[in-house]
């Protein structure tokens, strides 16, 4: 499915389908999808939702889920001990729009500063030697960035090599 999405994005055929969705249902669905993988590795999965985040939002919940699922999957994949956190924060309301920040924070291997530029290039795996046992095409981050661009956002990352990473983005949603 991820390759299919990639070709749709390449052809400019991927459309956003905004709907009203329940914030808690979106996050619960993600947690349920990833919790078994986290438990198998002995990782704590932490959910931190700011209580001022509206319970109902209007946006493309499927695309938001895809982006968060990719970030959570990577978080679990590249973390050997500790935790993976999904944090959702209300960054303020302007008229009908609410600015929501989504963070996925892990206590994993982190990213070397010199590898940062390669993080988002297609089909490129970073720290190949250290990550050779970790499966993946390297496509995920590229697609994630393109989906976010469609939604008028961008993926940012703060990382300390050896102690973890925070991937985050903000989205304007209609509250």
Write the pLDDT tens digit of every residue in 141-157. Answer: 888 888 899 999 999 99
DSSP-assigned beta bridge partners for residue 172: 99
Mean pLDDT of 15-31: 94
- Give me the pLDDT at residue 10, please: 57
On the question of pLDDT at 126 being above 60, the answer is no
Q: What is the pTM of this model?
A: 0.85
Distance of CA 59 to the CA centre of its chain: 16
Name the burial class of residue 82, with classes exposed (0-12), middle (13-18) and buried (19+) by CB atoms within 10 angstroms of its CB.
Answer: middle
- Give me the pLDDT at residue 25, please: 95
Q: For the ranges 10-14, 51-55, 81-85, 97-101, which has the lowest average pLDDT?
A: 10-14
Write the pLDDT tens digit of every residue in 74-99. Answer: 999 999 999 999 999 999 998 889 99
Q: If we measure between CA atoms, which residue out of 109, 86, 82 comes closest to residue 164?
A: 109
Pick 141 or 173 by higher pLDDT.
Answer: 173
Residues contacting residue 88 through CB under 8 Å, at least 6 positions apart? 23, 27, 48, 49, 50, 53, 100, 101, 102, 103
């Amino acid at each position: 499915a991820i390759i299919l999405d990639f070709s749709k994005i390449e052809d400019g055929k991927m459309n956003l389908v905004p709907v009203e969705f329940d914030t808690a249902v979106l996050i619960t669905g993600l947690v349920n999808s990833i919790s078994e993988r986290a438990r198998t590795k002995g990782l704590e999965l932490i959910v931190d939702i700011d209580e001022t985040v509206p319970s109902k939002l209007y946006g493309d919940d499927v695309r938001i889920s895809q982006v968060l699922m990719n970030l959570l999957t990577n978080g679990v994949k590249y973390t050997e001990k500790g935790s993976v956190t999904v944090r959702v924060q209300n960054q303020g309301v302007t008229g009908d729009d609410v600015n929501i920040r989504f963070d996925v924070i892990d206590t994993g291997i982190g990213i070397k500063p010199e590898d940062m530029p390669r993080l988002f290039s297609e089909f490129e795996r970073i720290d190949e030697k250290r990550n050779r046992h970790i499966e993946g095409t390297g496509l995920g981050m590229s697609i994630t960035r393109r989906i976010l661009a469609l939604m008028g956002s961008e993926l940012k990352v703060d990382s300390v090599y050896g102690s973890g990473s925070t991937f985050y983005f903000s989205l304007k949603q209609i509250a």
